[in-house]
A and B are shown apart, each in its own frame.
Chain A
């Protein structure tokens, strides 16, 4: 019975580690689970064998399996099944030959300054020059957003999508899926100056951890004007109902 308790305790912790993946769709990495389970099994084993009596009781069922002649049948079954399971585990682990994976930061830290259009932009201090029209001149703001929408639908929607959901009609062919602007975990978490940098310098301008050689995002400084970039940023926030993060 003590053996059953041991197994159940370990199983309980295992399910606890698996739960985020099963119910929330956010699985804990399997290597991490393996590491935690290693320590959990050892700890539970230590606790349960702290007295000689306890250890005796814990292993009694296993010992009786080997020593008790009346359990011969179960013993034979277990002794055949265990090697097969071990062999399969080895076979299974050897089969997986996957291409190397590259870890990548989706929103890497931006540089302090960027150079474009013959100017130097200090990312910490610049903001969207058209943003103030939102309160001061709503009609003009609407026009800016409309201009931004045209920039988007002539340059960006092929990948980032008609719905700004990152599912454009070429998205399926790209190694890195284009980021969505909808939802609250992309542009809603970023400042407009960050977007300005990402659009300006694109994939090639990413730091090493951002995967500059595999990002299909072009450097738009060669294609769009400074105003067009700021206006398309207005459109991204306006269409998705997100608000840019600010310094305050």
Chain B
């Protein structure tokens, strides 16, 4: 009798547990259909209406393959914590402003709309899509952390050159020698390790160590803990490489909240090329780019996140040094560029835009190539053939359909150098040209905008990356903080005090 009762209870327990799990999945599915299906598809196959417009594309849950997870490399499934973190959001220590989801993707954090329980319901539904069980999965061990001293970074550098440089480039700028695709056929670019704020799930040493140890499932980023791999590394070696990767981050390139480009005044000649020590004097300003998604030939899969700009000027000219990381130089005779290009290869290009002529306060032209109010554009274009070389041109525009190219002879010069995954381009033009040209005033503010073409990502013509109007200022020479007026104010007040004191004494 007792045995039978026990069996009954056991059966009941199993059954109720199952029912419980089922309702969790149903609840999760209801939330999923309401919030997630637009990108990830109603069946979870990553094929929602938005999917065609995204890179990285939305995850296909039916395979159960997640690029980001903390479980061991030979464990397919992520842990429950991983799923919760991916759904709720990351809030990594270095992220794109206002973004709490996965960096440089379109996956936002949902913790503002979903409570912990709801997130776990969605996770249960996602697991059911891939047929995952409920067995708890444990995260990899982070206890062997190696201190990031210079010896570790140096060891990591040596390992990096051997194990990682093939895809991430010798300088870590993601300038691969291979064309990479993920298991779903989408184009992938190796991470540019100098831009920590674009790492999907954070750029702390632990995050990078985890990627090296686990790999990125579904991509060509392997696990370096896999004993079957020729490139396998010990635990300590993986920490060394992580420490080195952290050291590659160039945080000064990360755009600040309201960047203002400060042009410094120089006596004498402005530099012609990027490799000139005079540039060291100028401050760097970063600007986020967005793809051109306003008029025809839109671009939805940008390959560059931001540009870094410096500016110098003298009595006659203004010069801009524009830098950005690009996996290829997009030169058609370059074998590597041809192999890596996504479709047709076009020359890389960058442009700076200003309002033409004198600007009335609060009266900027339309940011997208002007309108009734004209803009002047200074453009540099990479070479299309060895013979032709790099080109510079001035464009007068009154909107995208009203564009006039002006001969730039002598007026505008541009010169770029491509080195290890980075373009460094100098564009130099007149400070005071004809009445069509921009007017730059010492001490004043001028609107400025940038556009960028990555020819190996299919950018050409109207398909490009851009910024809206930004501000630049032409700093007066030797203009440090002025101490004259503060000191004068102090002296005047002090004299007043003395006068008062003496008049009071006289009265006595």
Contacts and interface: CB of A to CB of B under 8 A. Distances in A.
A124 interface: no
Interface residues of B, number: 60
Nearest to B465: A173
**Lowest 9 A-B CB distances belong to which pairs?**
A87-B490, A173-B288, A99-B471, A91-B486, A153-B50, A83-B490, A175-B468, A87-B486, A173-B290
B98 A167 contact: yes
Given A67-B504, A170-B290, A218-B294, 6 more contacts: A94-B482, A94-B485, A153-B38, A157-B50, A167-B108, A214-B367
A207 to B, nearest CB: 14
B39 A169 contact: no
A213 B290 contact: no
Contacts of B373: 213
A154 B50 contact: yes
Interface in B442-462: 445
A154 B300 CA distance: 10
A132 interface: no
22 contacts: A79-B497, A83-B489, A83-B491, A84-B490, A91-B483, A91-B486, A94-B481, A153-B39, A154-B53, A157-B106, A158-B293, A165-B112, A167-B98, A167-B99, A169-B106, A170-B291, A172-B97, A173-B289, A175-B469, A204-B371, A214-B367, A214-B469
Contacts of B294: 216, 218
B508 interface: yes
Give chain B's interface secondary structure class. Answer: loop
A135 interface: no
Contacts of B489: 83, 86-87, 89-90
B3 interface: no
A79 B367 contact: no
B185 interface: no
Contact of A99 (B112, B473, B504): B473
Contacts of B473: 97, 99
Contacts of A167: 98-99, 108
Contacts of A226: none
A158 B49 contact: no
Interface extent on A, as a size class? 35 or more
B9 interface: no
A216 B501 CA distance: 62
A222 interface: yes
Nearest to A154: B49
Give chain A's interface secondary structure class. Answer: helix
Interface string A156-169: 01100111010111
Interface stretch (B72-80, B238-246, B358-366): B358-366
Contacts of A67: 504, 508
A53 interface: no
Nearest to B38: A153
A82 interface: yes
A161 B48 contact: no
B5 interface: no
Query: Looking at B108, B110, B489, B490, which has the most chain A CB atoms within 10 Å of its CB?
Result: B490
Given A158-B53, A214-B469, A82 B367 contact: no
A185 interface: no
B290 to A, nearest CB: 4
Interface string A28-48: 000000000000000000000
A149 interface: yes
A33 B371 CA distance: 39
A228 interface: no
B386 to A, nearest CB: 35
A55 B365 CA distance: 58
Contact of B290 (A88, A97, A161, A174): A174
B113 interface: yes
Interface string B345-389: 000000000000000011011110001010000000000000000
A218 B368 CA distance: 10
B173 to A, nearest CB: 21
Nearest to B107: A162
Contact of B501 (A66, A168, A172): A66
Contacts of B467: 173
Contact of A169 (B105, B486, B494, B500): B105
A2 B180 CA distance: 79
A179 interface: no
